[in-house]
Structure 1
Amino acid sequence: MLNCHNTGLIVIDIQGKLATLMEEGEQYIAQCRALIAGAKQLDLPIIWLEQNPEKLGSTHPNILSLLDGIKPITKFTFDACREPSFLAAIAKENKPNWLICGIEAHICVYQTAASLLQNNYQVHLVNDCIAARKGENKQLAVNKLQHLGARITGLEMALFELVKDCRDERFKGILNLIK
């Protein structure tokens, strides 16, 4: 089970115009914002990736505003595990469980998550925080990753699993994120 001591968050390529082209784009961005804000409230490590930002643009401004103080890792391969600085960041955090949000589900999310699984990390796809331009591509990625051993969760499920107790001082802040 996820807890705040064994879990981190990976934010994959929520960038530029592409971020706005995702199915249910505005709702998708809002869900990712809530996840990132929740991870920050719970003091989870956050690893932030950008795919070829010179071509795709920087991270969406509504997401970027939450990542203040975190340096993005630039990558050019779809699989972030092929980027040594990403692997170093993952190893430095020493967390077995990684929540994943980002785009596109069937490309960068899929390849990164599959490699993390091969490297013996537990991958928890936050289903309402991953997206593709077409719903069938997202579903294909989820199906393949689940077959490889990824666990599927949702924004609310993950945050409440992490906070555990309504008496936790962080509970109200988490609750306000999902209302």
Structure 2
Amino acid sequence: MLSRQRTGLIIIDVQGKLARIMHESEAMHEALKSLVAGAKALDLPVVWLEQNPEKLGSTSDELLPLLSGHKPIPKFTFSACGEPDFVDAIEESGVHTWLVAGIEAHICVYQTVRDLIELGRKVEVVTDCVSSRTPANREIGLNRMVDAGARLTSVEMCLFELVGSCRVPEFREILNVIK
């Protein structure tokens, strides 16, 4: 089970024109907005990455307001674990389990997930917040992440698992995020 005290969120490379050409891009963006809003409501650490931002552009406009208060970590390796600032951020967060979302499932998301697991972290991939340009590549990426030891979840599943009870103050906010 996910625990608020031990869980954080990593958002990988949802930026520029590339984010718009992902398979089911609009649905992915809507799910990402819910995931980020839920993570904020639960006060989870958020680590946000941008691949080669000078070339690929900044994070999608609809996510930027939700990510205020956080600064993106630029990366140039496909695995975020190749960037010392990222590794420092996950080490400093104090959490051991990471929800992972972003693009592309079969490249940057897969390689980051694989390396996080090799670093001894637990990873849950938020499937409705992960995409690739083609459904086949998304599926291959998800399969490889599971083979590497990741678990699959969805926005609704992970947020309700993290909130844990309808009697906690954050329940109403999470309920509104899901609706």
Query: Structures share a fold, TM > 0.5?
Result: yes
Give the SS at the match of 1:50.
Answer: strand
Return the offset for 1:3: 1.1
Q: Distance in 1 between matches of 2:122 and 2:44?
A: 15
Q: Distance in 2 between matches of 1:178 and 1:133?
A: 26
Aligned length: 179
Q: Residue in 2 aligned with 1:81?
A: 81
Q: Residue in 1 aligned with 2:140?
A: 140
Q: How does 1:2-151 map to 2 (within 5 A)?
A: 2-151=2-151
Q: Residue in 1 aligned with 2:157?
A: 157
Opposite residue 93 of structure 1, the aligned amino acid is: S
Q: TM-score, normalised by structure 1?
A: 0.99
Q: Distance in 2 between matches of 1:23 and 1:50?
A: 19
Return the offset for 1:137: 0.6
Pairwise CA RMSD of aligned residues? 0.6
Q: Distance in 1 between matches of 2:21 and 2:61?
A: 15
**After the TM superposition, which segments of 4 or more aligned residues of structure 1 sit over 4 Å from their partners?**
none
Q: Distance in 2 between matches of 1:134 and 1:168?
A: 40
* 1:53-112 deviations in Å (ceiling 9; x for gaps): 110000000011111110110000101101000000000012110000000110100000
Give the SS at the match of 1:69.
Answer: coil
Q: Residue in 2 aligned with 1:174?
A: 174
Give the SS at the match of 2:66.
Answer: coil
Q: Runs of 5+ in structure 2 lacking a partner?
A: none
* 1:128-165 deviations in Å (ceiling 9; x for gaps): 11111101111101111101110100110000000000
Q: Runs of 5+ in structure 1 lacking a partner?
A: none
Give the SS at the match of 1:100.
Answer: strand
Give the SS at the match of 2:125.
Answer: strand
What percent identity do the matched residue pairs reach?
A: 53
Q: Distance in 2 between matches of 1:71 and 1:98?
A: 18
Return the offset for 1:23: 1.0
Q: Distance in 2 between matches of 1:102 and 1:25?
A: 11
